[in-house]
Structure 1
């Protein structure tokens, strides 16, 4: 059995909502950190530092969504409705019942605030619950120690390193650290992160 890609849905957390990404999110995402080189340092594309560049970035994700490869979300604060970042589900070729969480970024004002952990809990609950995936993959540049630590905090197990996966923007080769979480591992990790092994109702 091969799992299908999730349909665009809204996932509700205590501090944030994950909503289907649209071009309307471009102004908020640009303000949150579109032109910040530190945020985009490890990403293959240059920072979308203008309204037009951010719209092109979003349009490329929506094109991949139309092709059944990606489901992109805007990360929106519940208190203000402000878009502060984005994240995606990606198809994983060569694996049954597997999905990838990636292309994630947040404005620096929300680093270290718990936003990332809450977003990952929402995505993992959806992947292992309604979508019935058995494996979630997460990848990052092997040199991105901050991202690797965040993945390990939520329970990611290092599977290995893909050497010379693709060129970085500076022309050097990127090696990618590949992590995964399995469905039968998630309840214990969820309990450690949230205090309960099963999805709780968010107010």
Structure 2
């Protein structure tokens, strides 16, 4: 059976909700992370210094072919605190990438990323029928690599001189993946981490 292509959907957990990214999220996302160079350090664009610059970033997500972007909504405040996406799904070969992720610094080292990935992985494996989920990140971004490893993903290799960074230097991209047969153990670990407040 062929897997399904990701489509707009709302995924709800205890700590967060993932809902289709929209232009109406612009003000909250700018308030959450605008001007924060550290949040955007490893992404393909500089930190937005104004709300219109954040709007341009959101337009980029919405216009990107093969991207299904989500706004990450904090349950307690009801406000958008980040973005994460499905990318480049290949239903015939049953794989999809998770990427384009960033969060406001106020929710770093909280349950937000754990639950966002639990929701996305559950949707990918159990509802879309994917057999493989992938991530890639800048070789210099050790925080992201550690977060991906904590999900239970496996290191696959490094794609050298993969693309230019905003400063003009060349980025090596580190690749990770999780397979459907690895998912039950990863799901149990992620669920346990959420129950323990991680």
Class of the TM-score when normalised by the shorter of the 2 chains:
over 0.9
> Superposed, which structure 2 residues align to 1:122-201 within 5 Å?
122-195=119-192
Task: Name the count of aligned residue pairs.
Answer: 193
1:172 Cα deviation from its structure 2 partner: 1.2
Structure 2, unaligned runs of 5 or more: 194-198
The 8 Å contact of residues 3 and 92 in structure 2, kept in 1 or not, is answered as no
Displacement after TM superposition at 1:114 (Å):
1.7
Aligned to 2:38: 38
Cα deviation, 1:131-190, whole Å, max 9, x if unaligned, reads 000000011001111100000000110110000001112221100000000111010011
Q: How does 1:85-100 map to 2 (within 5 A)?
A: 85-92=82-89, 96-100=93-97
TM-score w.r.t. the length of structure 1 is 0.90
- Compute the displacement of 1:63 (Å): 1.3
Question: What runs of 5+ residues in structure 1 fail to find an aligned partner?
Answer: 197-203
- The residue that corresponds to 1:48 in the other structure is 48
Q: 1:94 to 1:11 in 2, by over 3 A?
A: closer
What is the rounded CA distance, in whole Å, between the counterparts of 2:11 and 2:90 in structure 1?
A: 25
Aligned to 1:80, which of 66, 77, 80?
Answer: 77
Range with greater deviation from structure 2 (95-104 or 147-156):
95-104
RMSD (Å) for aligned C-alpha atoms:
1.7
Say whether the 8 Å CA contact 1:5–1:71 is kept in structure 2.
Answer: no
Other structure's SS at 2:149 match: helix
SS of aligned partner of 1:126: helix
